[in-house]
Amino acid sequence: MRVELRVKESDRLSAVTRNLQAMGAQVEQTDDGLAHSRRPALHGAEIESYHDHRIAMAFAVAACGPRARPLIGNADCVGISYPAFFEDMEAVVER
């Protein structure tokens, strides 16, 4: 089992599983990863970052899909590792 995915700021496997499911993905958590049955068309949802900058940034990228516009709770936690993340994302998405 990849312990580093279960500790630190959050249990990242559980966080990613729950957030992807909220966005419409058919995904299940396994002991050491995720399993999915098909490629989903993600849709907007309320996403919890669990105060983990990695989760917040991952779902901000997922929001780049045409129907995926999640509302990310506690998104300001990205400042821990990448304070300009949202400004840089905006610049890239606008191009």
- Could you tell me which of 77, 47, 50 has the C-alpha nearest to residue 63? 47
Q: How many domains does the chain have?
A: 1
Q: Residue 32 has which token pair?
A: 């050491």
Residue 9: predicted pLDDT: 58
Provide the pLDDT confidence category of residue 47 given band limits of 50, 70 and 90: very high
**Average pLDDT, stretch 45-50?**
94
- Does residue 95 surpass a pLDDT of 60? no
Mean pLDDT of 43-54: 92
84 lies in which domain range?
3-94
Paired tokens of 25 = 């993905």
* 34-36 and 46-48 strand pairing: unpaired
Q: Is the pLDDT of residue 94 over 50?
A: yes
Which CATH number do you get for residue 70? Answer: 3.65.10.10
| Backbone φ, ψ for residue 47 (5° rounding) | -110, 140
What does pTM read for this prediction? Answer: 0.81
**Is the model more confident about 92 or about 40?**
92
